[in-house]
């Protein structure tokens, strides 16, 4: 037994496993498509990420939060489906199979048997979600931007009231100090009218911010401009009096102290929540959440009824029954993001980036789990194919070692396939394998020719089928099942290497011709 002989047997065996692996991969891909293994695994992985562990992932509020994420238009747009009568027929068949499968399964917590894993009235889901899409969708689903807006509105209103109170205090103190001077009556009357206009302008500024018609910085600039106009009116109306001059200086000092640096005013006033406070907006036990709720509940005017209703919608849809793990995980991510954030906008970007990184890490682990599960399914499919095709590894090695014609035919065909395919292309390999199989009778199947050499029995035999001999085939089937599960890319790569080794070991043609000529002489 020499090396070329061993290589030829190995090439023949590898070629057979390549053919069977192509069939197995086709079957596994079909099953994965029908039962949406990838999409279902992605959905469950997201639920585990939200819950923090596998056990909590089956809780109703975790499933409901994941379903709300899948309801987001950004995720819906990823799950593209074909349109048209004929192209949707296969998909509808898979949906019907999935519905039957759910009927025999126990419904998930918080759902019924008619609800798929992807949510109510959904038959399918995306097999892949980009990290940035997930981060944006999670933040939007939790209504964090809306809650941040409400918190900022509340703090801006408080800021407005504090500044107006300080201005009013200066006027009242001046009025008390000049209570006996009747010449200032008209002055105070005009100043209080101007103060009422100032209050109205401040409230209008807050309302514009609430309606998102102006940014926070723009709103403070407008308040500063209104305050400047009030100071000008005060200066124009006041009499040449030491106490009035002192009150004017106090107003100018207050204006400079508060509005001279808008960014500093925002920072010192805590008008923009930091990223840690942003995350606390979804925690019903936090002081920040209570601050928002108290501020909104204090508004009794008709104009604020819409704000109350909007907050109640957010509270019901996003915050109630929110998994504690989501709040805890976001709090940890917020602490990481805080170091890179100078303001709320940068903090939100940093938080999204942290969510993206966490999602990517989680999906890497989920991908490893899916590959292990897929390998287990591949082994089962490989065993099924090995038994169905009667692919006995021991018998195949025996046939290849004894039948030189079969060995040469398979070796030549394998060499041609390797030469025509430098890289793995499963579709091309399937097509060429089909062409090769029409000319080769492989040592497979339950036909008389193969059974006669395998267990010395044919259908024409007068004896009954030797069932006990089947037991001897089980080890060969097991070996073949595991080999088939290795996958077509593995066998093609191995075939490519061995064919190259075999070809490199051949003697050149001119050497063979010279040797033949010498023998003739």
Counting other chains too, the contacts that 164-170 makes at CB distance below 8 Å and 24 or more residues apart are: 164/198, 164/199, 164/202, 166/254, 167/195, 167/198, 167/227, 167/230, 167/251, 167/254, 168/195, 170/247, 170/250, 170/251, 170/254
Span of 143-152, 316-325, 386-395 with lowest mean pLDDT = 316-325
Over residues 219-237, the mean pLDDT reads 93
Confirm if 495 and 15 have CB atoms less than 8 A apart. Answer: yes
Confirm if 33 and 49 have CB atoms less than 8 A apart. Answer: no
pLDDT at 521: 42
- Whether 372 shows a pLDDT value over 80: the answer reads yes
Give the number of other CB atoms < 10 A from CB of residue 132. Answer: 14
pLDDT at 301: 47
Over residues 197-213, the mean pLDDT reads 93
**Who wins on pLDDT, 515 or 208?**
208
Work out the pLDDT band at 17, boundaries 50, 70, 90: very high
Confirm if 205 and 219 have CB atoms less than 8 A apart. Answer: yes
Distance (Å, whole) CA 254 – CA 234: 14
Q: What's the N-to-C CA distance of the chain in angstroms?
A: 31
pLDDT at 87: 55
Give the tens place of pLDDT for each residue, 244-269: 899 999 999 999 999 988 888 888 88
Q: What share of the chain in percent tops pLDDT 70?
A: 81
**Who wins on pLDDT, 217 or 279?**
217
- Whether 303 shows a pLDDT value over 50: the answer reads no
Work out the pLDDT band at 104, boundaries 50, 70, 90: low
Q: List Cβ neighbours of 336 (8 Å cut-off, separation of 6 or more).
A: 350, 354
- Paired tokens of 461: 């035999």
Distance (Å, whole) CA 400 – CA 68: 59
Residue found by looking up tokens 């509808």 in the block? 92
Degrees (nearest 5) of the Cα angle 349, 350, 356? 90
pTM equals 0.76
**Who wins on pLDDT, 324 or 321?**
324
pLDDT at 520: 41
pLDDT at 88: 62
Over residues 26-54, the mean pLDDT reads 87
Work out the pLDDT band at 385, boundaries 50, 70, 90: very high
Give the tens place of pLDDT for each residue, 41-83: 999 999 898 888 877 777 788 888 888 898 888 988 887 665 5
- Whether 304 shows a pLDDT value over 70: the answer reads no
Q: What is the DSSP letter of 128?
A: -
- Whether 437 shows a pLDDT value over 80: the answer reads no
Over residues 488-493, the mean pLDDT reads 90
- Whether 102 shows a pLDDT value over 80: the answer reads no
Ramachandran class of 390: left when φ > 0, alpha when ψ lies in -120 to 50, beta otherwise: left
Distance (Å, whole) CA 71 – CA 69: 5
Give the tens place of pLDDT for each residue, 349-367: 888 999 999 999 999 999 9
Give the tens place of pLDDT for each residue, 148-160: 888 888 889 989 9
Measuring CA to CA, which residue among 358, 434, 356 is closest to residue 22? 434
Distance (Å, whole) CA 421 – CA 435: 15
Distance (Å, whole) CA 461 – CA 440: 26
Counting other chains too, the contacts that 426-435 makes at CB distance below 8 Å and 24 or more residues apart are: 426/22, 426/25, 426/488, 426/489, 429/18, 429/22, 429/488, 429/492, 430/22, 430/26, 433/18, 433/19, 433/22
**Who wins on pLDDT, 12 or 116?**
12
For every residue of 49-75, which 3-state class applies, written as one string?
HHHCCCCHHHCHHHHHHHHHHHHCHHH
SS3 assignment, position 116: strand
Inter-axis angle of helices 467-485 and 393-402, nearest 10: 90
Work out the pLDDT band at 512, boundaries 50, 70, 90: very low
Inter-axis angle of helices 287-297 and 305-314, nearest 10: 150
- Whether 514 shows a pLDDT value over 60: the answer reads no
Name the average pLDDT for the chain. Answer: 81
């Amino acid at each position: 037994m020499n090396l070329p002989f061993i290589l030829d047997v190995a090439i023949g065996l590898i070629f057979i496993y390549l053919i069977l692996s192509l069939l197995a991969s086709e079957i596994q891909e079909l099953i994965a498509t029908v039962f949406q293994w990838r999409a279902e695994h992605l959905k469950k992985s997201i639920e585990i990420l939200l819950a923090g562990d596998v056990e909590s992932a089956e809780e109703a509020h975790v499933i409901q939060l994941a379903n709300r994420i899948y309801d987001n238009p950004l995720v819906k747009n990823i799950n593209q489906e074909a349109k048209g009568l004929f192209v949707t027929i296969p998909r509808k068949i898979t949906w019907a199979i999935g519905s039957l499968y759910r009927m025999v399964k126990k419904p998930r917590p918080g759902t019924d048997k008619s609800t798929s894993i992807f949510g109510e009235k959904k038959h399918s889901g995306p097999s892949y979600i980009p990290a940035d899409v997930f981060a944006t969708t999670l933040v939007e689903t939790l209504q964090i931007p809306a809650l941040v807006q409400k918190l900022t509105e509340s703090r801006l209103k408080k800021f407005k009231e504090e500044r107006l109170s300080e201005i009013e205090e200066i006027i009242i103190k001046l009025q008390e100090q000049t209570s006996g001077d009747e010449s200032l009556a008209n002055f105070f009357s005009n100043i209080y009218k101007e103060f009422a206009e100032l209050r109205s302008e401040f409230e209008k500024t807050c309302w514009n911010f609430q309606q998102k018609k102006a940014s926070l910085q723009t709103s403070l600039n407008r308040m500063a401009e209104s305050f400047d106009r009030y100071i000008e009116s005060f200066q124009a109306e006041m009499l040449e009096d030491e106490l009035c001059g002192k009150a004017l200086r106090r107003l100018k000092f207050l204006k400079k102290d508060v509005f001279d640096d808008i960014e500093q005013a925002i920072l010192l006033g805590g008008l923009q929540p930091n990223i840690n406070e942003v995350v606390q907006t979804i925690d019903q036990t936090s002081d920040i959440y209570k601050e928002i709720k108290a501020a909104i509940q204090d508004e009794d005017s008709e104009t604020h009824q819409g704000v109350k209703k909007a907050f109640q919608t957010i509270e019901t849809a996003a915050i109630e029954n929110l998994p504690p793990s989501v709040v805890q995980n976001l709090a940890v991510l917020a602490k990481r993001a805080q170091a890179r954030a100078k303001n709320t906008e940068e903090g939100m970007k940093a938080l999204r980036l942290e969510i993206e990184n966490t999602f990517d890490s989680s999906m890497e682990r989920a991908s490893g789990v899916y590959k292990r599960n897929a390998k287990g399914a591949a082994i089962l499919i490989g065993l099924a194919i090995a038994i169905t095709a009667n692919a006995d590894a021991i018998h195949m090695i025996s046939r290849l070692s004894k039948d030189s014609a079969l060995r040469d035919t398979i070796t030549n065909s394998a060499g041609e396939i390797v030469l025509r395919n430098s890289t793995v292309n499963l579709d091309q390999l399937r097509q060429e394998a089909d062409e090769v199989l029409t000319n080769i009778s492989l040592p497979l199947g339950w036909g008389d020719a193969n059974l006669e050499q395998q267990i010395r029995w044919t259908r024409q035999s007068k004896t009954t089928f030797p069932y006990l001999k089947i037991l001897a085939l089980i080890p060969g089937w097991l070996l073949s099942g595991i080999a088939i599960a290795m996958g077509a890319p593995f066998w093609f790569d191995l075939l490519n290497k061995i064919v190259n080794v075999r070809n490199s070991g051949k003697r050149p043609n001119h050497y063979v011709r010279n040797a033949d000529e010498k023998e003739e002489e």
